[in-house]
């Protein structure tokens, strides 16, 4: 594992202030090349894993003129061309994001993601408390387009979507979950948690009432890529951003004092549609 050194020469400033976002969903108003490099969690000749800040989209969109792709050249770091996105994270999700440094790497990473060989772990804080200590959500989902926009919905006719989950700690009202998606559908973790009755806090799409308030408490904690046949898998971990870290610390204390119940893994399929 390696971290990039401080860049040499003129300091370039990358503007990432997003005027269309509420203040608590914006990344830092100015992200310099040095700050971007400081977010590199892992780098080798094939792949870079960065800690994407919450509030920064990875792609351009109607309400996101500033996006990560616009600044990938700053992560070339000795290569002729910029790295390319190997997958994506939602705008308001922070954490581990893999970038391919050349076309061969992009093809190989694409096969790994499509084949379900990449292990992704997320941390989330949800409203409510799951009835068990761990389980699996197997609910097909599909995209529903409406005049006001689109969203994902649970539908038997949708695409297969499977999410493993583990209860880490709870204070009786909020819960810290470790989520491991086994498929990679759009908004999968958010719609799965909401469908089970434990919406992710700060989710303006799928939560209701007060649970919608504040920043989205969903973080791509780690990424494990079996990229090489003769070397250990690439593994990177991203620290929780401050808004999430504060809540996790409080829940960890509550979990230790109340004793989080542990049981054997169960398969749980929700009945609600």
Which domains does the chain show, CATH number per domain?
1-115 (3.30.70), 118-273 (3.30.2350.10)
pTM, two decimals, is 0.82
Contact between 126 and 199 under an 8 Å Cβ cutoff? The reply is yes
Q: Report the C-alpha gap between 74 and 7 in whole angstroms.
A: 10
Structure tokens at 243: 């808004």
Residues 34-72 pLDDT 10s: 888 999 999 999 999 999 999 999 987 766 667 888 889
- The length of the chain is 273
Q: What is the mean pLDDT of residues 96-113?
A: 97
Alpha-carbon torsion 205, 210, 216, 220, what sign? negative
Q: Rounded CA gap, 241 and 245, in Å?
A: 6
Please state the rounded mean pLDDT for residues 143-149: 85
Name the H helices within 75-203.
103-114, 188-195
The SS3 call for residue 177 is strand
Instruction: Name the one residue in this structure whose structure tokens are 């949800």.
Output: 126
Which band of pLDDT confidence, cut at 50, 70 and 90, is reported for residue 258? very low
Percent of the chain with pLDDT over 70: 81
Per the annotation, the verdict on 90 as an active-site residue is yes
pLDDT reported for residue 24: 46
Which of 121, 145, 56 lies closest to 94 in space, CA to CA? 56
Q: Taking residues 105-133, what's their average pLDDT?
A: 97
Q: Which of 116, 226, 216 is nearest to 163 (CA)?
A: 116
Q: Please report the pLDDT score of residue 59 as a whole number.
A: 84
pLDDT at 96: 98
Distances from the Cα of 127 to the Cα of 31, 217, 243, 262, angstroms: 32, 11, 16, 20
CA 49 to the chain's CA centroid:
13
CB contact set of 111 (below 8 Å; sequence gap of 6+): none
User: Of these residues, 51, 90, 92, 203, which one is catalytic?
Assistant: 90
Residue 265 or 205, more confident: 205
- pLDDT exceeds cutoff 60 at 91: yes
For residue 46, the SS3 value is: coil
Start-end of H helices in the chain = 33-38, 103-114, 188-195, 242-258
> 32 and 13 in contact (C-beta within 8 Å)?
yes
Question: If we measure between CA atoms, which residue out of 137, 122, 174, 131 comes closest to residue 261?
Answer: 131
């Amino acid at each position: 594992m390696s971290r990039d050194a401080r860049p040499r020469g003129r300091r370039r400033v990358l503007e990432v202030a997003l005027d269309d976002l509420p203040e608590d969903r914006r990344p830092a108003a100015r992200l310099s090349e040095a700050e971007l490099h400081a977010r590199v969690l892992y780098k080798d000749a094939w792949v870079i894993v960065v800690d994407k800040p919450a509030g920064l989209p990875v792609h351009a969109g109607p309400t996101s003129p500033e996006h990560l792709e616009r600044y990938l050249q700053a992560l070339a770091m000795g290569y002729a061309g910029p790295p390319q996105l190997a997958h994506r994270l939602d705008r308001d999700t922070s954490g581990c994001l893999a970038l391919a440094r050349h076309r061969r790497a992009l093809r190989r990473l694409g096969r790994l993601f499509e084949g379900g060989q990449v292990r992704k772990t997320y941390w989330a804080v949800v409203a409510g408390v799951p009835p068990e200590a761990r389980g699996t959500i197997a609910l097909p989902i599909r995209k529903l387009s409406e005049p006001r926009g689109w969203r994902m919905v649970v539908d038997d006719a949708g695409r297969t979507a499977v999410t493993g989950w583990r209860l880490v700690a709870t204070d009786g009202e909020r819960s810290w979950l470790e989520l491991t998606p086994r498929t990679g559908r759009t908004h999968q973790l958010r719609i799965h948690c909401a469908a089970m009755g434990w919406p992710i806090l700060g989710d303006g799409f799928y939560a209701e009432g007060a649970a919608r308030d504040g920043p989205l408490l969903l973080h791509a904690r780690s990424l494990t890529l079996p990229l090489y046949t003769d070397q250990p898998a690439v593994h990177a971990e991203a620290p929780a951003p401050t808004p999430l870290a504060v809540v996790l610390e409080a829940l960890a204390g509550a979990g230790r004092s109340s004793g989080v119940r542990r049981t054997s893994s169960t398969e749980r399929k929700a009945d609600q549609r």
